[in-house]
């Protein structure tokens, strides 16, 4: 039995429809809502986002990202013995998007399930996969973050609808005799449920409550910067590392201010911060693997680099993973 797990391939996918801030401003103007490219960039750093076509589901996006990750790892889908999908926008109430993805990959038999931790979902899912590989339950895991957040946005609320987009990112995590995932740190605090939530649910064949995303932006910002630093430092301590050992910080791509604030608290140069939020907005559970894949394929993140992944999301959930590529 291998003692460790290591990422052997990364992949990502963004739906073809790219919506710039100007595009969105024109659409919102038709609803009598005023916003602008400058207003959005100054507050978030976002310049564009991608929206999936109406018939496209999270598992469709997950399939494309998974295909790219498997190709990068040199693996066939038949070699995967664990599938975990982190998503807050599943295809159905049930079965899981992971089970649907498994079928789209043309395989069967291995465990497949979803993880729901909103924007922290990928960090949660990666930690679960690492634990299952370390205990010998799996040898080759496919871990995916996939979202179609455009389905739950209230386009009458400019404070939230400009922030989010659709996309998917994936990694192949395999058993290894050398350390890959070095340490992780996960948390949740349900008393903050009201500051970031979609409170609707299905009852009696109808949606009860609102099916749209609600967020108290200021409350989320204050909490996020604090807990992200704490999780990062706890993870470093578990791994016996310090701030200076981090080659790259890949936070959840939510808001450039939160991301830069976290890097500053960790005493990291801005150049060590991987930023992709400007191109796809907040894609929730998909944003960390999207950013990781972009950094790997652009040549920034190289084999042997030490990378800190961290996310914070509704629940309230947060966590971090430190890994060697």
Among 113, 200, 191, 123, smallest CA distance to 154 is for 200
- Is 187 a residue of the active site? no
What is the signed CA dihedral for 247, 12, 183, 132, rounded to 10 degrees? Answer: -160
Among 175, 188, 158, 191, smallest CA distance to 24 is for 158
Among 121, 124, 126, 68, smallest CA distance to 254 is for 121
- Is 119 a residue of the active site? yes
Catalytic residue, chosen from 119, 140, 161, 197, is 119
**Pairing between β-strand 82-86 and β-strand 140-148 as defined by DSSP bridges:** parallel
Task: Report whether 49 contacts 165 (CB < 8 A).
Answer: yes
* C-beta atoms surrounding 2 within 10 Å: 14
Residue 234 burial class via C-beta count within 10 angstroms: exposed 0-12, middle 13-18, buried 19 and up: middle
Among 59, 252, 263, smallest CA distance to 164 is for 252
Q: DSSP string of 169-214?
A: EEEEEEEESS-SEEEEEEEE-GGGGGGEE---EEETTEEES--S-E
Among 42, 63, 44, 41, smallest CA distance to 52 is for 63
C-alpha span between 307 and 317 (Å, rounded) = 21
- Is 192 a residue of the active site? no
3-state secondary structure of 320: strand
C-alpha span between 32 and 280 (Å, rounded) = 25
C-alpha span between 188 and 223 (Å, rounded) = 12
C-alpha span between 110 and 141 (Å, rounded) = 10
Query: Which residues does the annotation mark as catalytic?
Result: 119, 252, 282
């Amino acid at each position: 039995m291998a003692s460790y797990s290591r990422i052997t391939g990364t992949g990502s996918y963004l739906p073809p429809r790219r919506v710039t801030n100007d595009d969105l401003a024109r659409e919102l103007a038709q609803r009598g809502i005023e916003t602008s490219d400058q207003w959005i960039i100054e507050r978030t750093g976002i310049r564009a986002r991608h929206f999936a076509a109406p018939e496209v589901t999270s598992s469709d996006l997950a399939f494309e990202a998974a295909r790219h990750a498997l190709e990068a790892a040199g693996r066939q889908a038949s070699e995967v013995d664990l599938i975990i999908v982190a998503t807050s926008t599943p295809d159905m109430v049930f079965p899981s998007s992971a089970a649907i993805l498994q079928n789209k990959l043309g395989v069967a038999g291995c465990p497949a399930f979803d993880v729901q931790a909103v924007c922290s979902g990928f960090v949660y899912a990666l930690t679960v996969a690492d634990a299952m590989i370390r205990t010998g339950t799996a040898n080759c895991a496919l871990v995916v973050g996939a979202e179609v957040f455009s389905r739950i946005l209230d386009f009458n609320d400019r404070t939230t609808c400009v922030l989010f987009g659709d996309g998917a990112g994936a990694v192949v995590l395999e058993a290894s005799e050398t350390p890959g995932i070095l340490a992780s740190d996960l948390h949740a605090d349900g008393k903050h449920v009201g500051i970031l939530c979609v409170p609707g649910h299905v009852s009696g064949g109808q949606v009860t409550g609102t099916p749209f995303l609600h967020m108290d932006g200021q409350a989320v910002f204050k909490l996020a910067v604090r807990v992200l630093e704490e999780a990062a430092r706890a993870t470093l301590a578990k791994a016996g590392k310090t701030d200076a050992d981090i080659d790259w910080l890949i936070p959840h791509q939510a808001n450039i201010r939160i991301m830069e604030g976290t890097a500053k608290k960790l005493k990291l140069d801005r150049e060590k911060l991987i930023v992709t939020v400007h191109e796809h907005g907040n894609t929730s559970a998909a944003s960390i693997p999207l950013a990781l894949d972009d950094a790997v394929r652009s040549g920034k993140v190289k084999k042997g680099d030490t990378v800190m992944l961290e996310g914070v999301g509704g629940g309230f959930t947060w966590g971090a993973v430190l890994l060697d590529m």
